[in-house]
A and B are shown apart, each in its own frame.
Chain A
Amino acid sequence: MAKEIHANIPEGDLKDKWSNYKAQAKLVSPNNRKKLEIIVVGTGLAGASAAASLAEMGYKIKSFCFQDSPRRAHSVAAQGGVNAMKNYQNDGDSVYRMFHDTLKGGDFRSREANTYRLAECSASLIDQAVAQGVPFGREYSGYLKNRSFGGVQVSRTFYARGQTGQQLLLGAYQALMRQKEIGSVKLYTRHEMLDLVTIDNKAKGIIARNLDTGEIERHGAHAVILATGGFGKIYYLSTLAMGCNASAIWRAHKKGALMANPSWTQIHPTCLPQSGPYQSKLTLMSESLRNDGRIWVPKATNDKKSPIEIPEDERDYYLERKYPAFGNLAPRDIASRAAKEQIDIGKGVGPLRNAVYLDFAHAITEYGKDVIAERYGNLFDMYQKITGINAYEEPMKISPSAHFSMGGLWVDYDLMTTIPGLFAIGEANFSDHGANRLGANSLLQACVDGYYIAPCTLQNYLSDQIQVEKTQINHPAFQEAERLAKKQLENFVESKGNKTAEEFHREIGKILYDKCGLSRSEQELKKAILQIQNLREEFQQNLLVPGDAHEINSELEKAGRVSDYMELAELMCVDALERNESCGAHFREEFQTEDGEAERNDDDYAYSAAWEWSGKASKPILNKEPLHFTYVQPSKRSYK
């Protein structure tokens, strides 16, 4: 039975909705806040900023991360920048324009009200980060600098060299550590959430495993926030950190939270190509490089000349040719698909013919090597470390790679899931980016959710929890959740098969890349579903986990994560198969225009698909949240 889902969007004109919400939101008085406990899982930008902000307000916070320090969460790796509507460049930017860019960038598959709020809150974030001491790039006059990112025609991206994520995360991490010192936050590093505990259908706590000792712990609270990031690592080869996973949100999904648009994965166009079968990740090279780098392939197929020997008239700058209005700064989904198209017709470059060139020769001639080094020096260094090639002298070779999950837990305007008291923020939710996220909007969303939205909406939820007694962790719901979590771990260890979790992970990743990646079709998705079901069956029989469950055991940690991927992968394919249209990153081969662009179907598919766990991985239940466009009429998304 499909559920009734309500986005709870506030009344009023688009530009007044968030103000109206804040004006009417219920409050908790300062002396009551210390009685209320909140669990925050994840210490990336969303988790750390929410935990710190709520602790500053006076709530008692328990903060969890699987890394050895909160500062290592994968927000740290974001390179290029964070968008904000300051209009410092006087180039025609406005909240409305930023909202419009984001909505259009997402191919009209996000909620208007959420997207508008993201743009509306963006300016405050820059103020906060600067006050924290984040060293953003500056003009010689001392004022903040901006650059441009894909899919927009203004310069609204703030950056700290190529390490913007690191610097913003350190700001949030330091705010978190300040609260830890005061005693408002209790930190649980090297802990992994194994299950969500619900009592009377409300989120009341989690079961977590201490990864250093193997001990299983119960933690109760008045509300739980999941800020556990995206699950692009399901593709195995991705830009994500090795530990990134879907387990927290997937286990919450199995406890009743809906999962929205799970197949919408951003494949990032500028990553280092795969160089061999042993490879464990694909390193991202920031999109900011496309400000000055030009993308091209040889005009001739299978041209094996060195790039420097290929004259101008034998090069195809295909993005500039196909999308003259945006050129090399076409949005990510479009740039990735265009690269795949060139590689598929035999114009790929590099030893495995799986890459395209990103060339800085023109920019170096125009601005000089020093200017380019100041802008992107660390990226050029990184490129050289990994490939051994000096990109000041010859073009980089880049290739698309799985990167960001636009899909995630379904949340309403309050960022609350369908389980009362369970919130999902940052990349873990689905809300703001539609079917494609614009560059530099990810750091923004994580921060806006954590610093501004969650503190307000959590308080609204907690206002009627003051009378509710502290959650008792000896409640049968905790006992049962703990029992099941332990049983699963024992099953993994006792399976004694022949294949490690890593090997299963590589296989499922390959299926998804081939059949549920940049391009999808009914026929291939159906095949993928069967393959995944078979692989899942094999996983249950043939998993090999050395060691045991009562000690540090990274193979066991991987097994738990891959076990969840085995189920989520199928849901991704089901989601992609159900949507008989192309939109943003979701490109169904059957639905394209004559010139090969995505063909959306607003009559039948202007909704978010919110999937419900039925108890069986192969039988998900579809719920639809219709998308209403009141302020912007969906148009054909053209960057030509």
Chain B
Amino acid sequence: MKIHLKIWRQKDQKAKGKLESYSLNEVDAKMSFLEMLDMLNLQLAKKGERPVEFDHDCREGICGQCGVMINGIAHGPLKKTTTCQLHMRSFKNGDTIYVEPFKSKAFPIIRDLKVDRSSFDEIIAAGGYISVNTGQAPEANSIPITHEEAESAFNSAACIGCGACVATCKNASAALFTSAKITQFANLPQGKKESKQRTVNMVNRMEELDFGHCTNTEACQVECPQDISVLNIARMNYEYNKAKLTK
């Protein structure tokens, strides 16, 4: 099928970017979206032009490195699907597709569709862990965790850190990302000891970085490829207030 593309091209963080038009004539419906971009890049390279830089690695929806806005929607039209898992069968012959980076002040553009999401690492560094050194752990079954607690913690822990939530949020808030980690540990007995400190440190770090505030539009969950629930945000707010009120 024939596909027309409007792709954001930007040389570096400071340069002014713009949408460039491209057309591909022989797109196969079984191709993944990124394989379609590979096809474009091969054609550009052959013409001596600079290929489009985009983030990707595992191409099976788990590393969280890929992610672009496709027709204005983070990771494109399919629900619970990363960009790499989106296939061209979701589009039809003659479609024009707009491809833009995850734009946010906290995710500066490196080039074209590639953005810097190290601010997420900073939030984790502020407290997204249980402070246990190698060797300190007690016997695993000495900490029984009910099936429900484990499943619930897993649901939060499944976040892949792609940044779709920030890119989708009109305020560019990182509340869903931050709250998922806080909630995972708040749900586990091992994580309770540091819960107050963790919550306050992570929330403070999130606010120091260039993220906006959460105003509960819940758009983040709609576009989250892992379907991380906004209830995590409610839990984070509860944990934060609890930490502040019960010093």
Instruction: Collect the chain B residues with CB atoms within 8 Å of residue A604's CB.
Output: none
* A77 neighbours in B (Cβ, 8 Å): 58, 60, 62-63
Q: Contact check, A178 vs B129: say whether CB atoms are below 8 A apart.
A: yes
Q: Would you give the 0/1 interface string for B109-122, flagging 1 where the beta carbon is closer than 8 Å to chain A?
A: 01100101110110
Against A, the Cβ 8 Å flags (1 = close, 0 = not) of B123-151 are 01110111111111111110111110111
A475 CB within 8 Å of chain B? no
- B98-115 CB mask vs A (1 if < 8 Å, else 0) is 000000000000110010
Task: Pick the residue among B55, B86, B131, B137 that contacts A127 (CB under 8 A).
Answer: B137
Sorted nearest first, the 4 A-B pairs with minimum C-beta distance are A142-B144, A174-B129, A131-B137, A127-B137
- Residue-wise interface mask of A (393-432) relative to B, using a CB-CB cutoff of 8 A (1 in contact, 0 not): 0000000000000000000000000000000000000000
Taking a contact as CB atoms under 8 Å apart, the answer to whether B131 and A178 are in contact is: yes
Q: Given the complex, which residues of A lie within 8 Å of B208, measured CB to CB?
A: none
Taking a contact as CB atoms closer than 8 A, the residue among B38, B89, B145, B158 that contacts A163 in the complex is B158
Cβ contact within 8 Å between B146 and A174: no
Contact between chains at A555 and B125 (CB < 8 Å): no
The reply to whether A56 and B150 contact each other, CB–CB distance below 8 Å, is no
- Whether B63 pairs with A76 at a CB distance below 8 angstroms is yes
Please report the total number of A residues contacting B with Cβ < 8 Å.
Answer: 80
A545 nearest CB neighbor, chain B only: B45
CB-CB < 8 A to B219: which residues of A?
A: none
Most chain A CB atoms below 10 A, which of B60, B151, B161? B60
A140-197: which have CB < 8 Å to B? 140-144, 160-161, 163, 165-167, 170, 173-175, 177-178, 180-181, 187, 189
Is B175's CB within 8 Å of the partner chain A? no
How far apart are the CA atoms of A174 and B48 in the complex, in Å? 42
Q: Contacts A88-B141, A279-B35, A385-B78: A552 and B58 contacting too (C-beta < 8 A)?
A: no
Q: Is B56 an interface residue (CB 8 A)?
A: yes
In the complex, which of the residues B31, B80, B130, B134 has the most CB atoms of chain A within 10 Å of its own CB atom?
Answer: B134
Contacts of B38 in A (CB 8 A): 278, 280, 502
CB neighbours (8 Å) of A144 from chain B are 140-141
What's the least CB distance linking A401 to chain B, in Å? 12
9-residue interface stretch from B164-172, B183-191, B210-218:
B183-191
> Could you tell me if A382 and B126 are in contact, using CB atoms closer than 8 angstroms?
no
Q: In the complex, which of the residues B46, B58, B114, B116 has the most CB atoms of chain A within 10 Å of its own CB atom?
A: B58
Give the distance in Å from the alpha carbon of A216 to the alpha carbon of B41 in the complex. 26
Residues B137 and A130 in contact, CB atoms below 8 Å apart? yes
Is B44 interfacial (CB 8 A cutoff)? yes
Task: Report Cα–Cα, A141/B139, bound state, in Å.
Answer: 17
**In the assembly, what is the distance between CA of A284 and CA of B59, in Å?**
11
The 0/1 profile, CB within 8 Å of A marked 1, for residues 42-56 of chain B is 101110111101011
Contact A163 B147 (CB under 8 A): no
Q: Are A133 and B53 in contact (CB under 8 A)?
A: no
A241 to B59, Cβ gap below 8 A?
yes
Q: Which A residues lie within 8 Å of B49 (CB)?
A: 546
Indicate whether A381 reaches chain B with its CB closer than 8 angstroms.
Answer: yes
In the complex, the chain B residue whose C-beta lies closest to that of A275 is B30
B137 with A124: CB separation less than 8 A: yes
Residues from chain A with Cβ under 8 Å of B20 in the complex? none
Residues of B within 8 A of A (CB): 28, 30-32, 34-35, 38-39, 42, 44-46, 48-51, 53, 55-65, 78, 80-81, 85-87, 89, 110-111, 114, 116-118, 120-121, 124-126, 128-141, 143-147, 149-151, 153-154, 157-158, 160-161, 184-185, 188, 190-191
- Contact check, B85 vs A552: say whether CB atoms are below 8 A apart: no
Residue of B65, B126, B141 touching A67 (CB-CB under 8 A):
B65
The 8 Å CB contact of A138, one of B48, B86, B133, B147, is B147
Complex-state Cα separation, A138 to B149, whole angstroms: 9
Determine if A137 and B114 form an interchain contact, defined as CB atoms under 8 angstroms apart. no
A-B contact pairs, 14 of them (CB 8 A): A68-B55, A72-B65, A124-B135, A130-B143, A131-B132, A133-B130, A138-B145, A138-B146, A167-B157, A175-B134, A283-B60, A382-B60, A382-B61, A500-B46
Looking at the assembled complex, report how far the CB atom of A389 sits from the nearest CB atom of chain B, in whole angstroms.
Answer: 12
| Complex contact B143–A386 (CB within 8 A) | no
Residues of B within 8 A of A174 (CB): 124, 128-130
| Contact A128:B134 (CB < 8 A) given known A86-B140, A88-B141, A554-B53 | yes
Contacts of A53 in B (CB 8 A): 133-134
Q: Would you call A455 an interface residue if the criterion is a C-beta within 8 Å of the partner chain's C-beta atoms?
A: yes
The distance in angstroms between the C-alpha atoms of A126 and B151, with both chains bound, is: 18
Interface membership of A92, Cβ < 8 A = no
User: Closest approach, in angstroms, between the C-beta of A552 and any C-beta of chain B?
Assistant: 5
Say whether A136 faces chain B, with CB atoms less than 8 Å apart: yes
- A sample of 8 more A-B contacts (CB under 8 A), given A67-B65, A124-B137, A242-B56, is A126-B140, A142-B145, A160-B157, A167-B154, A167-B157, A276-B30, A283-B60, A546-B45
With CB as the reference atom, state the residue of chain A lying closest to B187: A135
Q: How far is the CB of B171 from chain A (nearest CB, A)?
A: 23
> Are B161 and A71 in contact, CB atoms less than 8 angstroms apart?
yes
Contacts of A544 in B (CB 8 A): 45-46
**Interface 1/0s, chain A 224-261, versus B by CB < 8 A?**
00000000000000000111000000000000000000
Which one, B85, B125, B147, B154, contacts A178 given CB within 8 A?
Answer: B125
> Which of A129, A386, A388 gathers most chain B CB within 10 Å?
A386
Query: How far is the CB of A336 from the nearest CB of chain B, in Å?
Result: 19
Q: How many angstroms from the CA of A451 to the CA of B137 in the assembled complex?
A: 12
Name the distance in Å between B51's Cβ and chain A's nearest Cβ. Answer: 6
Q: How many A-B residue pairs have CB under 8 A?
A: 216
Residues from chain B with Cβ under 8 Å of A382 in the complex: 60-61, 85
Looking across the interface, which residue of chain A has its beta carbon closest to that of B27? A278
Which residues in A have their C-beta under 8 angstroms from that of B30?
275-276
Query: Do B59 and A133 touch (CB < 8 A)?
Result: no
* Residue of B with least CB distance to A455: B134
Chain A residue nearest to B80 in the complex (CB) = A381
A139 at interface, CB cutoff 8 A: yes
Contacts of B56 in A (CB 8 A): 242
Q: Does A541 contact B (CB under 8 A)?
A: no
A49 CB-CB contact with B under 8 Å: yes
In the complex, what distance in Å separates the CA atom of A129 from the CA atom of B134?
9
Q: Which residue of A lies closest to B81 (CB)?
A: A385
CB distance from A193 to the nearest CB of B (A): 17
Q: How far is the CA of A624 from the CA of B85 in the complex (A)?
A: 45
B188–A133 CB distance below 8 A = yes
Q: Is A332 located at the chain interface by the 8 A CB criterion? A: no
- A368: CB under 8 A from chain B? no
Determine how close the nearest CB of chain B comes to the CB of A137; give it in whole angstroms.
Answer: 7
- Beta-carbon contact of A552 and B63 below 8 Å: no
Chain A residues with Cβ under 8 A from B185's Cβ?
133
Q: List the B side residues contacting A71 at CB < 8 Å.
A: 64, 121, 124, 161
Whether B146 pairs with A142 at a CB distance below 8 angstroms is yes
| Complex alpha-carbon distance, A368 and B15, angstroms | 57
With A and B bound together, what is the CA distance between A605 and B118 in angstroms?
A: 49
Contacts of B34 in A (CB 8 A): 280
Tell me the bound Cα distance from A101 to B144 in angstroms.
Answer: 29
Interface presence of A132 (CB below 8 A): yes
Nearest chain A residue, comparing its CB with the CB of B184: A133
CB <8 Å contact, A74 and B85: no
Contact B154 A161 (CB under 8 A): yes
Q: Which of A274-321 contact B (CB under 8 A)?
A: 275-276, 278-281, 283-284
A552 touches B44 (CB 8 A): no
A68 touches B42 (CB 8 A): no
